[in-house]
Amino acid sequence: MEYIKKLVVCLICLCAIATVICINLRAEDVVTNAKGAILYEPESGRVVYSKNMNQRLQMASTTKIMSAILTIESGDLDEPFTVDSEAIKVEGSSMGLIEGDTVTKRALCYGMLLPSGNDAANAAAVATSGSVEAFVSLMNRKAGELGLSSTHFVTPSGLDDFTDGHYSTAEDMAKLAAYALKNETFREICSTKTITLDLGGRNVTLWNTNRLLNSCEGVYGVKTGFTDKAGRCLITACERDGINLICVTLGDSTDWIDHEELYNYGFSVLERVDLGEEEYKVPLVGGESRTVELSGEPVSLILAKGDSERIEKKVFLPRFIYAPAIEDEPYGEVIYYLDGGIAAISELKPKE
């Protein structure tokens, strides 16, 4: 159908536009000490604020976002096993694993995302892929699949003092966080403030190092990080008034303050706009009824404040439909435009 071809073209255009939309409304008022930063709206791919967002930088333990989501996606999260005694022999932050502990992949994800355990990251790597080296290959393969073209992993933990090959960008890490947060298990774990785990007869209590969970309205994730080479790194996610934002700062000595100020800025310039539900009648040929009613799902957009006044729409309907009208078949569409670019597409289908 000609309509289907047109829809595919429109969807491609929409995806292309969504990757480049950028707001800089009074962005000059925002100051951050980060080497690289981004405030990202994942629903549309909108960049609300950026500073050197494509500069390759070390990302320290925010690396564990990739390690945790790969561990979760590998399955069997609650199958107990004895932790690999060599994998847990690693310096830096720890969830407190010792030789002989009985763990699960789920417990190791808590260990990675709350206290930023390097021991948990290595143990999860071995449990998932058989070795740290194989897991790192999996990390880089996943980065390629997600289009993170300026990201390269050397360790599951983010330890980087011995290498210059472990790096990412603020934009890549925002996209990685957005992907991981689509997973309900990941989101639940990274938003947990504290938990006590049974490691085979020995209990350990873990606390989340992300203090914005307690101090900043709407924050529900994601991961802290620090090494001497990377400096302070922080990735958080925040929801207010139905809008989600992801903030990334790399190499930022004032990261806690900067994230709060960036969120206050971002939510002040954005709004969710409900465009309503579309309904139209089209002549029906060969049926008991003379018309068929087509409707589209309600459309909701996140826009810069004031942009809704410039939204325009075009309705594409067939001259008629031959009976029977197929319930899930799109027969038309409404395309919403903002400044000439496609902002949203609503398919029109027979109303139940």
Give the global pTM: 0.88
Scanning 218-350, the segments in alpha helix (DSSP H) are: 255-269
Reading phi first (left if > 0) and then psi (alpha if -120 to 50, else beta), residue 58 is in beta
According to DSSP, the residues that pair with 279 across neighbouring strands are 295
Q: Find the catalytic residue in 116, 157, 168, 346.
A: 116
Q: How many CB atoms are closer than 10 A to CB 344?
A: 17
The arithmetic mean of pLDDT across residues 203-228, rounded, is 97
**pLDDT confidence bin for 146, thresholds 50/70/90:** very high
Q: What is the pLDDT of residue 26?
A: 58
Calpha distance 60→231 (Å, rounded): 8
Considering the chain, what is the average pLDDT of its residues?
A: 92
Based on the residue annotation, tell me whether 223 is a catalytic residue of this protein.
no
CATH number of 2-18+277-350: 2.60.410.10
In angstroms, the CA 72 to CA 67 distance is 9
Please tell me which residue in 35, 51, 64, 223 is annotated as part of the active site.
Answer: 64
Task: Answer whether 193's CB lies under 8 Å from 207's CB.
Answer: yes
What span, in angstroms and rounded, lies between the C-alpha atoms of 235 and 258?
11
For residue 14, what pLDDT band results from cuts at 50, 70 and 90?
A: very low
Q: For residue 27, what pLDDT is reported?
A: 59
Is 116 assigned a catalytic role?
yes
Give the pLDDT band of residue 276 (cuts 50, 70, 90): confident
Which tokens sit at 211?
Answer: 């203090």
Distance CA 44, CA 170 (A): 17
* Distances, alpha carbon 285 to alpha carbons 150, 168, 291, 323, 348, in Å: 55, 58, 8, 6, 18
Task: Look at residue 194 in the predicted model and tell me its pLDDT.
Answer: 98
Query: What homologous superfamily does CATH list for 31-270?
Result: DD-peptidase/beta-lactamase superfamily (3.40.710.10)
CA distance 255 to 248: 9
pLDDT digits (tens, 9 = 90+) for 45-90: 999 999 999 999 999 999 999 999 999 999 999 999 999 999 999 9
Burial class (CB in 10 A: 0-12, 13-18, 19+), 55: middle
* Omega before 80 within 30 of 0, i.e. cis: no
Q: Which is catalytic among the residues 61, 157, 168, 346?
A: 61
> How confident is the model at residue 79, as a pLDDT?
97
Checking if the pLDDT of 121 tops 80, the result is yes
In the chain, what is the straight-line distance between the N-terminal and C-terminal CA atoms, in Å?
A: 23
Clarify whether 64 is annotated catalytic.
yes
User: What's the pLDDT score for residue 12?
Assistant: 38
Return the pLDDT at 28. Answer: 65
**Domains in the chain: boundaries:** 2-18+277-350, 31-270
CB 229 within 8 A of CB 207: no
Domains 2-18+277-350 and 31-270 share a fold: no
pLDDT digits (tens, 9 = 90+) for 148-205: 999 999 999 999 989 999 999 999 999 999 999 999 999 999 999 999 999 998 999 9
pLDDT at 3 over 70: no
